[in-house]
Structure 1
Amino acid sequence: MPIIAPQPSLKQLKYFVAVAQNLNFRRASHILHISQPTLTNQIMKLEEGLGLTLFERSRNGTMLSPEGRELLKHAEHLLQTMTEFQNVARELSQGPKTTFKLGIPPTLGPYLLPFVLPQLHQLYDKLKFYVRESAPSELYTGLYKGDYDLIISPFSSLPDDFVTEPLFTEPLKLVLSSEHPMSKDLLIEPRHLKGQTILTLEDKHHFHHQVLDICNELGAVLQQDYEGTSLDTLRQMVVMGMGAAFLPGLYVHSEMHVPESLHVCEIKDKPILRQHALAWRNTSPSRVFFRELADRFRRIIKARLSHVVEVHIP
């Protein structure tokens, strides 16, 4: 009788993907919380069962073999399918009484979620969110990979293959030092921004690129030698007179009740806005509930923050 090779286990496939993504057994074992000998032994068993060499090992490091490269995408697909299977089972057994992984940009999360999550908890007392902040591009990658169940992100930059529900539109406010010549005006003529130095965040943030577009349109100068790492850092740079900055309306509302030598204004006849949306994978087993959740988000935001942002409820 022919010898039937053992089927790869999901654990072995998980180990294979971890090593393939890191190309380092020590680092992969640390991420997986197992010992390096255990990881090495499981990879060897997987290779033996498949009759293939998945990795090329040398003094210079570890790399995928041609066969390993070909199998990696299939292993990732199988793991993603199993994650979806587990999510469906969880949703069928628990409904919304579970924990969802929510991703949100750091320029939004701290200034929005404190107004929303307490009321959501009152509506769904068993519902919990594990919240992580990251730049939008990293949120998209994480949503694809299953690191997040849903994300809140700028609507204009969301990939087309996610399901999206617009939530609200947020204005960007122009913030100047109180010593700035234009600090006496609540409305600034667009032409007066020409040649003005504008500060912004690092370019990994979607917010950076929106401010860059504004500067190009108005003839302002984006200061790229001293980019802020956070909105708080940006505010302090404005206080020190290093330039002006566009700050999100929710941040201004949440953090600038008593301005520190700052003046908040807008550009005359030129509202500058960013639209936020809730997004999830179109294969998510919770997609029906997520649409309900988007409507809850909108209604809570409208009730609590309509003086700061604009919400359109369908």
Structure 2
Amino acid sequence: MPTPAPTIRQLEYFIALAEAKTFRGAASALSISQPTLSAQIYSLEQLLKLPLFERSRSGAMLTPAGRDLLDTARQTLEQMRAFTDRASLLSGGVGGLLRLGVSPTLGPYLLPHILSDLHRQYGELKLYVREKKPKTLELDLVEGRLDLVLIPLPFQHPQITTEVLFDEPLKLVCSRDHSFADQGRLQASDLHGQNVLTLEAGYSHYQQVRQCYEALGANILRDYEGTSLDALRQMVVMGMGMAFLPSLYIYSEIHRPESIAVLDIDGVSLSRSHVLAWRKNSPNRGFYLRVAKLIRQLVRHNLTEAGLAFPGHGS
């Protein structure tokens, strides 16, 4: 008689507890009660004849056996999701749920311009969107917690495929009462000694912008790094310094030009490339490539005034 196999739900509970490290946190993430979670984990351990967690008042820590089985559980769950997604594709339409990760410096300023058209094209497709910093998105994609990631480069991993969508300029901005506000165009030497601001380390273009500032001799205010584009913008408005902001953010969010001035710098051009990324071995990789091409078309059509450029084309 074959040994009973764990259920998909038990594997989901096992992974959730391993990630949350507490029964309360995992139960909350799963929207179930703690007794239900405890009972399912206990049943799984009895079925496998293995203790998966060391329980204590402070939480639940994986045993060596639990650590050894965690990756296999993630792969199994990923294959089951891929199975149902593939079945939906073969049945004549795209259905089910795709888990999409986006960078917080991109998602809010891009997704509103493309999601309704994506839904119109693939009416049965549901997108579960999560915003996280790039390094977390990469880990979540590799470990199967996300299906797709929409993210700025650099983004490289041997298990990941990327499709370039578009290039986005980074524009220098200053407050309206800054001495540069009415000039429109600066020389690179104009930034020498100027106070400038950046996002905090961990965002994709942090190093790129910081290196540019250093090359121009600007004074980087490291004690005032922005935790978000909105925070960075507000510090600029308050006259704390100048900053580079992505053009999609400027296009989507800055509706009061009197509060901020957008400048060009002769001889200085910064941009970031955005990609759609997925695991190389995903059974749905052909569909993901079609989604990437559709996103590129939608961006080109819906954001013509945002100053974007596309692979193999001019701006």
**Normalization by structure 2: what TM-score?**
0.86
Q: Which residue of the other structure, out of 119, 128, 131, is the alignment partner of 2:129?
A: 131
Maintained 8 Å contact 1:298/1:313: no
Counterpart mapping for 1:269-288 below 5 A: 269-288=267-286
Q: Percent identity at matched positions?
A: 46
Counterpart mapping for 1:253-264 below 5 A: 253-264=251-262
Q: 1:129 to 1:198 in 2, by over 3 A?
A: same
Tell me how far apart the structure 2 counterparts of residues 147 and 61 of structure 1 sit (CA, whole Å): 22
- The one-letter amino acid of 1:31's match is A
Counterpart mapping for 1:46-57 below 5 A: 46-57=44-55
Q: Which residue of the other structure, out of 205, 222, 247, is the alignment partner of 1:224?
A: 222
- Cα RMSD between the aligned structures? 2.6
The residue number in structure 2 matching 1:311 is: 310
Tell me how far apart the structure 2 counterparts of residues 59 and 132 of structure 1 sit (CA, whole Å): 30
Residue by residue, what CA displacement relative to the aligned partner does 1:202-257 show, whole Å, maximum 9, x if unpaired? 32322333322222332223223222233222222111110001011112222234
Q: Tell me, yes or no, if structure 1 residue 197 matches structure 2 residue 195.
A: yes
Tell me how far apart the structure 2 counterparts of residues 34 and 301 of structure 1 sit (CA, whole Å): 39
Residue by residue, what CA displacement relative to the aligned partner does 1:161-210 show, whole Å, maximum 9, x if unpaired? 32211111111110012222222322222222222221122323223333
Maintained 8 Å contact 2:16/2:26: yes
Maintained 8 Å contact 1:80/1:145: no
Q: 1:120 to 1:36 in 2, by over 3 A?
A: closer
- The one-letter amino acid of 1:310's match is A
Counterpart secondary structure, 2:37: helix
Q: 1:278 to 1:17 in 2, by over 3 A?
A: closer
The residue number in structure 1 matching 2:31 is: 33
Q: How many pairs are equivalent?
A: 312
Q: Which residue of the other structure, out of 247, 250, 266, is the alignment partner of 2:248?
A: 250
Tell me how far apart the structure 1 counterparts of residues 34 and 113 of structure 2 sit (CA, whole Å): 45
Tell me how far apart the structure 1 counterparts of residues 262 and 270 of structure 2 sit (CA, whole Å): 14
| Structure of higher CA gyration radius | 1
- The one-letter amino acid of 2:212's match is I
- The one-letter amino acid of 2:310's match is V
- The one-letter amino acid of 2:187's match is E
Q: Tell me, yes or no, if structure 1 residue 235 matches structure 2 residue 233.
A: yes
Tell me how far apart the structure 1 counterparts of residues 129 and 59 of structure 2 sit (CA, whole Å): 35
The residue number in structure 1 matching 2:263 is: 265
Counterpart secondary structure, 2:224: coil
Counterpart mapping for 1:160-175 below 5 A: 160-175=158-173
Counterpart secondary structure, 2:205: helix
Counterpart secondary structure, 1:225: helix
The residue number in structure 1 matching 2:185 is: 187
The residue number in structure 2 matching 1:148 is: 146
The residue number in structure 1 matching 2:213 is: 215
The residue number in structure 1 matching 2:290 is: 292
